[in-house]
Amino acid sequence: MKNPLSRLISLVTSLIVGISVTAVVAQDISGGGSLIRDITGGAALIFRAPQNPSVHLSSGQGTAGGGRIKSRNPKPPVRQQDTIIARANAARSAPRPRYDEAEQQYQLAAKIAPDDARAFAGLGNVYVDQGKFAEAVQAYQQAIKVKPDYAGAYLPLAFSLARMNRYPEAIDVYQQTLKFDSSSPEVYNNLSFAYNHSSRYQEGVDASQQAIKLLGDTGGAYKLGFQERNEIRSYAYKNLGNAYSGLKRYDEAANALKKAAEIEPKNASAHFNLGLTLYTAGRYSEAIESYKEVIKLRPQLGQAYFNLALAYIAINDKTAAMAQYETLKTIDAEMAKQLYDAIK
């Protein structure tokens, strides 16, 4: 079984490359005829693994191996609670995570001390590790109910809500998170993503601009998690471009998306969104070049061939459009049929 680091890297990778992950696709823009908008590649959410709840154990009570803790004297309730949470932490953080054990220990801690937010937050962490976002939301919400100022529960709660497409709730929680950390580029970037998905585009512009300002030229302000600095800077510019597209400010959108692609040339979603924006603005030749870049990065992405063909149709080059159709037939026959009808 994968350890938490590998597990979360796999989760983030699925956000970056997964074609079917609808919770994290980039915000679509309106207009542009029958262009396909299943934008894929390059998650716009920044994510860091939630930390284990803190424990306060005296010397000689270490639990690095998750084994039994020897003591000649009965443990008072507080010490017993810390011991249980420490064991749960050790099970979660083991080279081969023991998620069932961790879950059981956190639940035991919650039963013994139902007013201890750490137990519920730890439980939420175990669920996030496994992609069980509905369960994670319930656990984090309980942690906050018990202790409204438990800062460690807010960020993973908002992320879990966003992964479930519950964007208005995610926005509310991210805004509350700013009370604990008002200079977090992660929060502003993810707020922009949620605003865009809620059609609150001007707020999306403002939030992404703040994220870009905080990240600076190097991304150094970000507390590095599982994404590279260039990736997270690219995401911030992509969110900005998507927000401008929603406002139909296409030139500004194109500039932001070009910047996203320049920072992270392998961000297929930035190129794809740029193609959408340029097409909608009537800049068809530039859109063609953007979709060609997507195809270089994702040669099996049928949506890119479809949209590239429509851009060729827009400049009256049906021969080039038919060439895309011939390729698309080998990738997605149904989509190819739709394209053929459009070319005719």
pLDDT tens readout for residues 172-227? 999 999 998 888 899 999 999 999 999 999 999 999 999 999 998 888 887 767 67
Distance CA 112, CA 119 (A): 10
| Structural domain includes residue 74 | yes
Residue 263 lies in a domain: no
User: Which segments in the chain show pLDDT lower than 70?
Assistant: 1-34, 36-43, 57-78, 224, 226
Print the domain residue range for 177: 45-182
Q: Would 160 be classed as within a structural domain?
A: yes
In a domain, 92, yes or no: yes
Task: Please report whether residue 114 resides in a domain.
Answer: yes
The candidate with the shortest Cα–Cα distance to 238, out of 269, 199, 215, is: 269
pTM of this prediction? 0.81
Residue 83 in domain: yes
Domain of residue 74, CATH code = 1.25.40.10
Phi first, then psi: what are they for 29, rounded to 5°?
Answer: -110, 160
Q: Whole-angstrom Cα distance, residue 224 to residue 220?
A: 8
Domain-embedded: residue 122? yes
Chain segment 39-78, per-residue pLDDT in tens: 544 557 888 889 999 998 654 444 433 334 444 444 445 6
Nearest by Cα to 17 from 321, 260, 316, 298: 298
DSSP assigned state of 64: T
Three-state SS sequence of 121-149: HHHHHHHHHCCCHHHHHHHHHHHHHHCCC
pLDDT of residue 62: 43
Asked if 181 and 174 touch (Cβ cutoff 8 Å), the reply is no
| Count of the separate structural domains present in the chain | 1
Q: Give a yes or no: residue 310 inside a domain.
A: no
Only one residue has tokens 């497409």, namely 165
